[in-house]
Amino acid sequence: MTLALHCRCGQVKGIVATDRAYVRATCYCRDCQAYARHLGQPGLMDAHGGTDIVAMNPLAVRFTAGEEHIAGLCLRKGGLYRWYAECCRTPLGNTPHDGRTAYVGMVTACLAPAAEVDAAFGPAGRVVLNTDSALGDVSGTPVAFVLGGARIATGILGAKLRRQPPSLFFNPSGQTLRTAYPLSSGERDAVGLETG
């Protein structure tokens, strides 16, 4: 099964193969919250500051239009690359700095329709991360967290053993295809991140 991927204005389009997903999770970390504030679009976080993502193998994602509109940023040195459609500031996905790691956390804001996202990956909130940073009371999911982490680790290890080459936002040598700029100290202050 595949799902449509698109930015809010429709210039960036693609498809996601659901069979390569690792786990759906809601992340409440300060960085995800700062990223959503930086993009400035409503509806990117739930009521407690959580971002709904689906962790998957990057081979699951294929862009079919608008790749020239994809931009990236990094909130802190060594942090995740956060990729988005610069045309309308829709978040797309998060990746490690190392393009050889077979992981992308696709933000469900770019996947549609919502009912199909739920049918493919289960409902949001079954796995939650970083609840200490939530903007309210959010119960942890320790068993689901461990099982989801194991699925991610198994997928990454399997791709490494198969010698899966970098893809999606990276070239075959693992370098980014686009510049992922770091936030300036002023931008970091504006979204509530400590500078340094």
Q: Which two tokens stand for residue 122?
A: 């289960």
Is the model's pTM score more than 0.85? yes
The model's pLDDT over 87-139, given as tens digits with 9 standing for 90+, comes to 999 999 999 988 899 999 999 999 988 899 999 999 999 999 999 999 999 99
To which residue do tokens 């399997």 refer?
158
121 within 8 A of 68, measured Cβ to Cβ: no
Domains observed in the chain: 2-185 (2.170.150.70)
**Model confidence at 184, in pLDDT bands (50, 70, 90)?**
confident
121 sits in which H/E element: helix 114-121
Beta strands in the chain (DSSP E): 2-6, 13-17, 21-27, 51-56, 61-65, 70-74, 81-85, 90-95, 104-107, 111-112, 128-129, 180-182
**pLDDT of 191:** 87
Q: Which residues pair with 42 in a beta bridge?
A: none
Answer yes or no: is pLDDT of 194 > 80.
Answer: no
How far apart are the C-alpha atoms of 91 and 145, rounded to whole Å? 23
